[in-house]
Amino acid sequence: MSESGSSQQSRSLFQRRENQAPETSGGYGTSVIDRDDRRTVGEALLEDPRISCRSVNVWYDKTHAIQNVTLDMGCNQVLAMIGPSGCGKSTFLRCLNRMNDTIAACRVDGQILLDDMDILGPQVDVVSLRARVGMVFQKPNPFPKSIYDNVAYGPRIHGLVRGRMEEDELVESSLIKAGLWHEVKDRLDSPGTGLSGGQQQRLCIARAIAVSPEVILMDEPCSALDPIATAKVEELIDELRTQFTIVIVTHSMQQAARISQRTAFFHLGELIEVGETEQIFTMPSHPLTEDYITGRFG
Ligand SMILES: Nc1ncnc2c1ncn2[C@@H]1O[C@H](COP(=O)(O)OP(=O)(O)OP(=O)(O)O)[C@@H](O)[C@H]1O
Ligand SMILES: [Mg+2]
């Protein structure tokens, strides 16, 4: 956006906040941003994106949960999505592999390109799409199968392996990449659900990477983990980004700062600001971003 637009927006925000009664200053209403001046601050577009989202809107019946979001995601990069509860992070993330299709009341429009494929197109085979754009959820959800089968299942149904030897190799390499091999190599036939929470989450990551996705979506993947398991998953994310595009939702600013290269701040369904993670956390351009990262609301 233009500088004058940005400063005009900031001014109108500050003016409104100065006029607010002190007891309401933290509670931003829907009218904080002038509706004719709602533009994302920062670098939403990239030169060589892996995913390009243009004017994406999402409704749940009449609730306008995502409003006109335009954002690129880069190759071999971690993009962190932050913002207060209910601002639309999970909703937006789910658009990227059509997980919102499973919610009857949900309607998505706009354009989301993965390379040249329009993800939202009616002809898209969502099963193949979800192999290209994998997802790791907040709560580890291994299948009620063995550790081995949890990882082998995806490659089997997508016809990615021929014979047991290839399958064994893929299971091993996926578990190695997920940093879990040494902990489970002697009990591959045990149920995945019998692992600790942190191990289960790494198993889910192994399952996601076994089908060679291009993009991995993670919705608060560490929120159910202790600090040690969290550190392992964060280390893993940093290693995985050399091969994949990763988009992660997190409520932890420290985590966003540690593992992402770009950060996008959402508020009330809008993408307020996006930029290099360091800049967002040290010199945010938008007052709402600053208020959020300094803990003034959220
Ligand atoms: N299945 C659904 N049906 C109806 N409304 C929904 C549904 N899922 C989300 N919403 C609404 O959409 C908005 C965005 O929700 P979303 O879950 O995307 O937020 P979020 O940023 O991920 O929040 P949190 O940080 O709490 O996970 C909220 O107003 C929420 O109530
Ligand atoms: Mg969420």
Contact 216, 204 (CB under 8 A): no
pLDDT of residue 99: 95
Q: Pick the atom of ligand 1 nearest to 87's CA.
A: 21
Q: Residue 262's domain spans which residues? A: 3-21+76-103+126-293
Tell me which residue has its CA closest to atom 30 in ligand 1. 86
- pLDDT more than 90, % of the chain: 81
Per-residue pLDDT averaged across 58-69, rounded? 97
The CA distance from 207 to 250, in Å, is 21
pLDDT of residue 35: 39
| Tokens describing residue 141 | 């959800």
pLDDT of residue 95: 98
Query: Mean pLDDT score of the chain, rounded to an integer?
Result: 88
Instruction: Specify if 52 maps to a domain.
Output: no
Does 37 have pLDDT greater than 60? no
Q: Which of 85-89, 171-175, 229-233, 256-260 has the lowest mean pLDDT?
A: 229-233
Contact 98, 51 (CB under 8 A): no
Tell me, in angstroms, the distance from the centre of ligand 2 to residue 250's CA: 9
The CA distance from 122 to 75, in Å, is 25
Tell me, in angstroms, the distance from the centre of ligand 1 to residue 92's CA: 10
Q: What is the CATH number of the domain that holds 7?
A: 3.40.50.300
Per-residue pLDDT averaged across 223-236, rounded? 89
pLDDT of residue 3: 39
Per-residue pLDDT averaged across 240-269, rounded? 96
Number of independent structural domains in the chain: 1
Contact 177, 240 (CB under 8 A): yes
Tell me, in angstroms, the distance from the centre of ligand 1 to residue 91's CA: 6
Instruction: Specify if 57 maps to a domain.
Output: no
Tell me, in angstroms, the distance from the centre of ligand 1 to residue 90's CA: 7
Per-residue pLDDT averaged across 251-259, rounded? 96
Top mutation candidate among 58, 89, 267 for ligand 1, by most atoms within 8 Å of CB: 89
Instruction: Specify if 217 maps to a domain.
Output: yes
Instruction: Specify if 71 maps to a domain.
Output: no
Instruction: Specify if 30 maps to a domain.
Output: no
Ligand in closest contact with the CA of 81: 1
pLDDT of residue 6: 40
The reported pTM is 0.86
Q: Tens of pLDDT along 114-126?
A: 998 999 999 999 9
Q: Pick the atom of ligand 1 nearest to 249's CA.
A: 22
Instruction: Specify if 43 maps to a domain.
Output: no
